[in-house]
Amino acid sequence: MIRLEFSMQVKEELYHVPTDETLARAELAGFLKFKGNVEIGKDIYLLITLKEPSSVRRIKFLLTKVGENESSVIYKKVRRLNTGNLFEVKVFAGDIKEFISRMGLDLTGKMHDEFFKDPAVLGAFLRGAFISSGYIANPAKYHHLEIYSKDIEILKWLKAKLENTVGMVGFIVDVRYGYRFYIKNGETINEFLNFIGSVESARLFSSIMSSKKISSDITRSMNFIDANSKRSGNASWKQINAIKFVSERIGLENFPEDVQKIAKLRIEHPELSLSEIGKMIDPPLSKSVVYRRLFKIIQIAEKQQ
């Protein structure tokens, strides 16, 4: 059962994913590329703007992992129209250029592909990107995962990396004030969740997806059965009417005995299929033979009407 909004449930799990120094650097790069800037003024520092206090705690944990225990992290609550409270995290490292380089970036924001060629490192980067800028819909309703950015180039890089590294296919769409990378395929979304470390959420997503498939299959089967019943009922009704019409106008006794026998069984058992009627004959007849014999009556009835 989904108690939290599913997107928040995924992020709550990601906040507690264990990591090492290399993966922590990659995850910080994800935060910085999607919600960060290098600020140059009296001091040079990194500024990362986030909505959730848990995201800020995650950054503090990652900074500890990469050995930046002395960095200053300043919380600044900002109230903005339509966004609610935002938290500004300022990171003052001894050498910002060197610090960013260790995250696989440079001061211009360019990605160092060599650092992200390891799938585990790429997964950590995407974890930071999703926590800071991602959203996933409740899978019980529909399948949709997205990551937003004002910079289309980082989304193009992300899209290509996912396709070339792990074969996941996504798409980019131009939206108001920016761009979205999104995935609609349920199986790919499930792979993505596993890839970024949200294993329990992926398991829940898979379970919900399977339940929806079973429910869909049952509905499809019931519709098929219902449609077949209606078709069968219509055919039975047509056959019985033809038999009654011919019996009154011509008389069944004027037909061969084998046709008479089938006609009587059809009248006596309107609920049975042609196959079931065929099995009542000795020796049993196939469905096609039963149909051909009834069809003779239907043809004569149609000519007489």
**pLDDT tens by residue, the chain, 305 residues:** 444 589 999 999 999 999 999 999 999 999 999 998 877 666 777 888 888 888 988 998 999 898 876 556 666 666 655 556 778 888 877 788 888 888 898 877 788 989 999 999 999 999 999 999 999 999 988 899 999 999 999 999 999 999 998 999 999 999 888 999 999 999 999 999 999 999 999 999 988 877 665 545 545 545 554 555 555 556 777 888 888 888 877 777 778 888 888 888 888 887 788 888 889 888 888 888 888 888 888 888 887 76
Instruction: Give the model's pLDDT for residue 218.
Output: 46
Cβ atoms within 10 Å, residue 39: 13
Angle at 156 between CA 150 and CA 160, to 5 degrees: 155
Instruction: Give the model's pLDDT for residue 75.
Output: 63
Domain ranges in the chain are 6-197, 231-304
What lies within 8 Å, CB to CB, of 149 at 6+ separation is 33, 34, 133, 155, 178, 179, 180, 181
Instruction: Give the model's pLDDT for residue 257.
Output: 84
The 8-class DSSP code of residue 41 comes to S
Instruction: Give the model's pLDDT for residue 3.
Output: 46
Tell if the pTM clears 0.75, that is, is over it.
no
DSSP collapsed to 3 states, 191-207: HHHHHCCCHHHHHHHHH
DSSP 3-state assignment of 135?
strand
Distance CA 10, CA 274 (A): 55
* Assigned architecture for domain 6-197: Roll (3.10)
Instruction: Give the model's pLDDT for residue 225.
Output: 45
What lies within 8 Å, CB to CB, of 273 at 6+ separation is 232, 287
Instruction: Give the model's pLDDT for residue 140.
Output: 85
CA pseudo-torsion sign 212, 220, 184, 114: positive
DSSP 3-state assignment of 2?
coil
DSSP 3-state assignment of 47?
strand
Instruction: Give the model's pLDDT for residue 2.
Output: 44
DSSP collapsed to 3 states, 62-104: HHHHCCCCCCCEECCEEEECCCEEEEEEEECCCCHHHHHHHCC
Of 136, 132, 186, the C-alpha closest to 154 is 132
